[in-house]
Chains A and B, each alone.
Chain A
Amino acid sequence: MKYELVAGFETHVELQTNTKIFCSCTTKFGGDPNTHCCPVCIGLPGTLPKLNERVVEYAIMAGLATNCEIAEIAKMDRKNYCYPDLPKAYQISQYDKPLCEHGYIQLSNGRKIRILRIHIEEDAGKLIHNHGDTYVDYNRGGVPLIEIVTEPDFRSIDEAKEYVEKLQQTMRYIGISDCRMQEGSMRCDVNISVRPEGSEKLGTRTEIKNMNSITNIAKAMDYEYERQVDLIESGGEVVQETLRYDDATGTTSSMRSKEDAHDYRYFREPDLVTINVPRERVKEIQARLPELPEKKYARYTEEYGIPEKDAAQLTKYRSISEYFDKASEGLKSPKTASNFIIGQIFRRLETEADKEALDIKTSAEQLGELCKLLESGKLKNNLAKKALDQMLDSGKPVTEFVSESDMAGLDDATLTEYCNNAINAMKNAVEDYKSGKEKALMAVLGNVMKQSRGRADAPSVIKKLKELIG
C-alpha cells in the first residue's frame, strides 16, 4: 500500500526587539549568565509585567506578511507548568485570543499552507544539565517570541523545507527576526502522521522537537514517516507521543507519551490588560511593510524578463534585492544590473552570510552608473567588466577607470588601421577564412581587440574585417 505523509508545523521565532517582552532587560544573545535579568523576568513575587509595544507591532507585521487577519481584541494568558526554565511556574502566552489568525503561505507548487494562528509569548531560560544537577541561566527568559502554527497541510518533505525557507526569508525581510536556527532564534516542532493514499481520515500523529536545521527537519521527517509506515505495515499502531530528534544517530526517541501530556490549566493573565488593535494601526503597519520577496520575484521575472533562477537569487535576501532595485533604477534593461550582481559581485561573496551582509565597496548607484554607460553603447561589455572589478577593489566610481577616449569608442579611420594591421600580421588565419573556415576570423578579431585595448566593438570589427578581406 502507498502511504501519504501529513504534517503540520509549530515554529517559534525570536523577535529582534531591544528589550524583553515584559521588562526592560536587553534581549542580546549570550552574555554572562544571569546578567540580563531583573525582578520581573526572574519571576519575583510582587512584580508586574508590562507589555513591550514593539512585540505587538512585530507580531502584526508577521501576521500581515503571512496573509493573516489581525485581531481587534487580544489578550494574554497563563500557561501553567513546572519546570526550572520558567521561574514563575507559568509562561505568559496567548490561548484563545491570539493576535493573528487564518493566514497562509503559498508554495511554488501552488499549494497554500494555511496558518492557523500567530501568537506572542515569552521565551524560557536556558538549562544546562550536569550529572543530574541543573544550572539555570535566565538571560533568555522573557525574550519575546511569536509562535506560528500551521494546519496539517504538508504532504511532502520538500513542501516542509520550502515552507521553512520561505518563513525564514519573510521574517528576515520584514526585519523582525534573524531566524538563525543554529542559534535557536528560529525553532520548529513538526507533527507527523501517515495515512493510506486517498484516505481522508487523519492518522495518529507524533510530534518531533529539537531540530536545529532545515536538513535535520528533513531527515527527522523522513525517518519518522518510514517508522510509522513500517509500524502500520507490520500490524502495529502509532502511539501519540512527543519525540526528540537525535542528530548524531538520525533517529527519533520518545520524550513523553500522551498520558503524561501537560494539563496547562490556561487562564487569563490578570496582570496584563486587554490588547486593542485599532484598524488604522493595522493599515499604518501594512503601509510600512517592505515589498515582500514573492512580489519582487514576480516583478523581476514578469516585468523585467529576468530568468527565474536569477530572480530567486536576487530575492533571497532583502539586502541584495534592494541593491538590485537601486542599481537598476532608470535602466532600459534591469537585467544588465542583475547579470553584474549574479556574476562578478557574487563571485566575491563566498558564503550565504557574505551575500546577506553584502559588504562590498561599490554602491548600488555606482553600479547603476556603469550599467547606464553600457546601455548607451558608450562602454563596451569587456571594458565594463574590467571597470567593475576595479570599482569593487577600490570603491571608486566608474569614471575613475574609463577615459573619455574609452567611451568615445574608435573612429572609423583608426578601426580601419587596426584591421589592416591585423590582416597583414595574420596572413594564415586570413587564408583559412578565405578557404571557408569561418572561425579563423576570430583570431584576427582578437588581434584587433588587443590593438584597441578593448575599446573596439566586436560586431563592427567583424563587419570591417569582412569588408577589407572581401
Chain B
Amino acid sequence: MITREDIENIALLSKLFVDEKDIDGLTEEMQKIVAFADTINSVEVKSGEFDNINNLQNAFRADEVKESLPVEEILKNAPEQAEDHFLVRKRA
C-alpha cells in the first residue's frame, strides 16, 4: 500500500517539489496506479521471463558513424543554455 511517506520519498528521489496540500490526492492516485499494475501482474503467463510481446531478439545496429545534429538543434529545447552548454542553475 502506497503511503504519504512513499510519495514524499519518490518526490525527493525525482527532485520534484510537491505541495503539502497535494500529497493526499497524489497518494490516492498512486494507490490506483499500483492497483492497476497489480491487476496486470495477476494475469497468468506461460512464456519465459525474457520474452517480448513480439518475441524479438538481437535488434542490432552496425557500428557506422552518422552525422550528429548541429549544436543549435541540440540546444533548441534547453530551458537555459550558455556557451554551447545546457545550463543548470544553482537552486535558490
Contacts and interface: CB of A to CB of B under 8 A. Distances in A.
Interface stretch (A26-34, A211-219, A335-343, A380-388): A26-34
Interface string A34-77: 11111100101000001111111000000000000000010100
B66 interface: yes
A135 B50 contact: no
A156 B87 CA distance: 43
A82 B69 contact: no
B11 to A, nearest CB: 11
B65 A50 contact: no
Contacts of A36: 68
A84 interface: yes
B90 A25 contact: no
A108 interface: no
Interface string B75-92: 101000011111111100
B39 interface: no
Contacts of B51: 274
Given A44-B77, A134-B88, A274-B50, A52 B60 contact: yes
Given A36-B68, A73-B50, A273 B58 contact: yes
A142 B39 CA distance: 35
B63 interface: yes
A33 B63 contact: no
B66 A24 contact: yes
A312 B21 CA distance: 69
B87 A135 contact: yes
Given A34-B85, A39-B69, A50 B61 contact: yes
Nearest to A55: B63
A75 B50 contact: yes
B69 A38 contact: yes
B1 interface: no
Point out which of A26, A37, A89, A274 has the most chain B C-beta atoms below 10 A from its C-beta: A274
A93 interface: no
Interface residues of A, number: 47
Contact of A32 (B13, B71, B86): B71
A263 to B, nearest CB: 6
Given A34-B86, A53-B60, A136-B88, A82 B13 contact: yes
B64 A19 contact: yes
A131 interface: yes
A18 B65 contact: yes
B90 to A, nearest CB: 3
A276 interface: yes
Contact of B65 (A26, A53, A133): A26
Q: Number of contact residues on B: which range applies?
A: 20 to 34
Contacts of B64: 18-19, 24
Contact of A128 (B58, B75, B85): B85
A42 B74 contact: yes
Contacts of A273: 52, 56-59
Given A36-B68, A132-B90, A133-B89, A56 B60 contact: yes
Contacts, number: 114
Contact of A133 (B13, B70, B88): B88
Contact of B63 (A35, A52, A262, A276): A52
Contacts of B88: 84, 133-136
A286 B75 CA distance: 43
Contacts of B90: 131-134
B14 interface: yes
A97 B71 CA distance: 36
A271 B59 CA distance: 11
A42 B68 CA distance: 11
Nearest to B9: A263
Given A33-B84, A136-B86, A275 B69 contact: no
Nearest to B86: A136
B79 to A, nearest CB: 11
A369 interface: no
Contact of A134 (B65, B66, B74, B87): B87
Contacts of A42: 74
A408 to B, nearest CB: 56
B13 A84 contact: no
Contacts of A275: 57-58
Interface of A: 17-19, 24-26, 32-39, 42, 44, 50-56, 73, 75, 80-82, 84, 89, 97, 128, 131-138, 262-263, 272-276
17 contacts: A18-B64, A24-B64, A26-B65, A34-B75, A34-B84, A37-B68, A38-B69, A44-B77, A51-B60, A53-B61, A134-B87, A135-B83, A136-B85, A273-B58, A273-B59, A274-B51, A274-B58
- 10 shortest interchain CB distances as A-B pairs: A132-B90, A24-B66, A53-B60, A135-B85, A136-B86, A54-B63, A134-B88, A273-B56, A50-B61, A276-B57
